[in-house]
Chains A and B, each alone.
Chain A
Amino acid sequence: MIIITAMSLPFLSKKPLDLPPIVSVELIQITDKTNIPFAPKAKKIIEKVKEREKKLVSEQAPPKITKKQKPDAVPLPDEKIDKVKKIKDDKQNPEKIDNEVKQVSEFEKKNLFDPNNIAALIDKSKVESTETKNKTDKVTQDQEKNIDYKGLSLSEEDALKAQIFGCWSIPLGLPFNEDLLVRIKLQLKPDGSIISSEILDHARMNKPGQGFYKVLAESALRAIKLCQPLRVPSAGYERWKDLQLNFDAREMLEG
């Protein structure tokens, strides 16, 4: 025992190892303390652009003062006829009460919604849609209206997706098992360039503990900027002038 102890002692009392020192590094946030200016050249460019924008606004002719007319848009032929009819009706029967606004008793209401009539209503809607299909291919104002309410076609959506896939560098450090979905609402010009972009859950950006969300949102915004003008359909601007992109990297991150 004594021998073992004697043998171990010199080893235990070994001189400390000569190791490279770990020197502390002081860290200071300087973002708030400084507001560094633009380079002189860049400043000039920015000022020029601003002036040009001002000029453009002032050079525009002031809007013509016209007498206020009630209908802003030219009514469709059908609407015109309806209006004329309505006026006539009003004149002929000033005391006539419209059925739609007529108050009815509970009993009468029941009669109004006769279940037997539902089938008829459905059939009617079917007939109407078939009629629309059978109409001529010529784009009428009515058809244009119908297009406005539809989404993008599959090929249009695929083209847009493919473009953004190429621009979006996914931050690979993000966890795949967290609720990370960034929704961005875009306002687009007819050529697909961006008028404005708005993160719908913007409040999450600056919340503590939402660092991952912020990184993802910034990467999504970069992708949109890098991609613009977006590959949008050549027609139907009214349909897609407002667009929402939902960026979800979970599938990719999970591998």
Chain B
Amino acid sequence: MLFRYLLLLFFLLPVKSFGLIEVDITRGNLSPLPIAISPLSIDEQSKESFKKILKKENIGSEISLVVENNLKQSGLFNPLDKNAFLQKPDIANLKPRFEDWNLIKAQALVTGKVTLVDEKLRVEFRLWDVLAGKEMMALAFTTVPTNWRRVGHIITDKVYKRLTGEKGYFDTRIIYVSEEGPKTNRIKKLAIMDQDGFNNKFLTLGNELVLTPRFNPTNQMVTYLSYFRNLPRVYLLDIETGLQEVVGDFPGMTFAPRFSPDGKKIIMSFAEGGNSDIYTMDLENRIVERITNHPSIDTSPSYSPDGKYICFNSDRSGYQQIYIMNSNGKNVKRISFGNGLYGTPVWSPRGDLIAFTKLHKGKFYIGVMRTDGSGERLLTENFYQEAPSWSPNGRVLIFYRETKTNSKGEGFSAKLWSIDLTGYNEKLVETETDASDPSWSSLLTN
């Protein structure tokens, strides 16, 4: 009883607070982080040697340009104009004069140097926190000189991860369907390039129609669909060895083969007796297993990163909508309920979102929603666009967009575009030819 009264008194009597003042900072700016990428320094001897090998005037500047362009494309960084730099690239061997970099409002700084060691390219780089005046990271790379662009991508990945907290997506490749010729008679080839559009290479000659190439999430294998004598065939292509093999011929229409997260299975849909359902195929023993069995059209399956669930689209409700189910086909749940038709669902590598294409009132949208269907966000709208594919860190989507033709059937084009989750950073991905059906690889270096 006494204790109760004491407690009451404690709360009722005016007590002076001696606590520390706390201020909650719950907002910040989303503007790109100002970063200075100092050209990598290079000694005269190495410079001349690289000039002979790579036909590049200054390989140090070229590598730093790769880093700069990558960071700029990401939309999260603002690489500062090199003309404003007060310190020269020779700072690679010294601590920077932070006050000079502070003056141009740089918050982070990349310095480094390039040397030729035993006929190999050696790059050292350091990332500095200008405001704190301290080194954040220092790494060295050694590789063959022709690999110099990849070194730029790897540096970008390291810088990106250190400053944003998530893995980068720059040392990656994109496989896509290259398209040429008039709309009625398109020649379609399989092509591959670095994520920034460089090192483009055609993988097939264009004799057969190729569709929906998809990367294995664990390695550099690709599965795609090609028509051989008007029959759809699923192929496997090993990017590292260049070897390819037929997985199998399937009856009727086959759609969108895609790997399971462990890369051991392929999931796809094909039509049997006019009914399209979802099947998996074990790549070791080639056993095909039926996952859905419904009179409606079930297509575009995609696994969750843990392999426990599958998202797919189906018209079982009367309209094309997105569903999820357990990986054994049980517990089917509809998750999209908005107006319009939903298709091509793809589970994010982070597992938190599902990207999709939506058709509503004659317009196509690329959007994302949570895995329970909540929080739908439409990122971009256009006349025709589809087939989103996630970057390996789950931050950016690549997709293709087609333009309208005029009355004479001219003016048609198909291009690759990328957009990040904010929906603001939309970029055209340059390709040598028209392009469709892109698929993003995992990181080449982990």
Binding site for B on A (CB under 8 A): 7-8, 11-12, 14, 16-20, 22-31, 34, 36-39, 41-42, 109-110, 113, 115, 118, 121-122, 125, 128-129, 149-152, 157, 160-161, 164-175, 177, 185, 211-212, 214-216, 218-223, 225-226, 239-240, 242-249, 251-252, 255
Contacts and interface: CB of A to CB of B under 8 A. Distances in A.
Interface stretch (B236-244, B250-258, B313-321): B236-244
Nearest to B158: A27
Greatest chain B CB density within 10 A among A12, A14, A24 is at: A24
Greatest chain B CB density within 10 A among A25, A29, A113, A152 is at: A25
Contact of A109 (B2, B16, B139): B2
A25 B444 CA distance: 10
Sort chain B's interface into a size bin: 35 or more
Contacts of B140: 27-28, 30
Interface string B213-232: 00000001000000011000
B339 interface: no
Nearest to A14: B244
B163 A39 contact: no
A19 B242 contact: yes
Chief secondary structure at chain A's binding surface: mixed
A174 B165 contact: yes
B12 interface: yes
A160 B23 CA distance: 9
Contact of A113 (B2, B160, B237): B2
Greatest chain A CB density within 10 A among B27, B96, B163, B241 is at: B27
B132 A243 contact: no
A28 B201 CA distance: 31
Interface string B116-151: 000000001010010110011111111110110011
A168 B28 contact: yes
B286 to A, nearest CB: 15
A143 to B, nearest CB: 13
A167 to B, nearest CB: 8
Greatest chain B CB density within 10 A among A18, A19, A223 is at: A19
B164 A249 contact: no
17 contacts: A17-B203, A22-B444, A29-B138, A31-B137, A42-B96, A149-B16, A152-B21, A165-B28, A171-B164, A173-B395, A218-B129, A223-B28, A242-B21, A243-B21, A246-B25, A249-B26, A251-B26
B310 to A, nearest CB: 23
Given A251-B26, A252-B27, 7 more contacts: A19-B192, A26-B142, A28-B140, A28-B142, A172-B76, A215-B164, A243-B23
A129 B13 CA distance: 12
Given A39-B91, A222-B129, A172 B239 contact: no
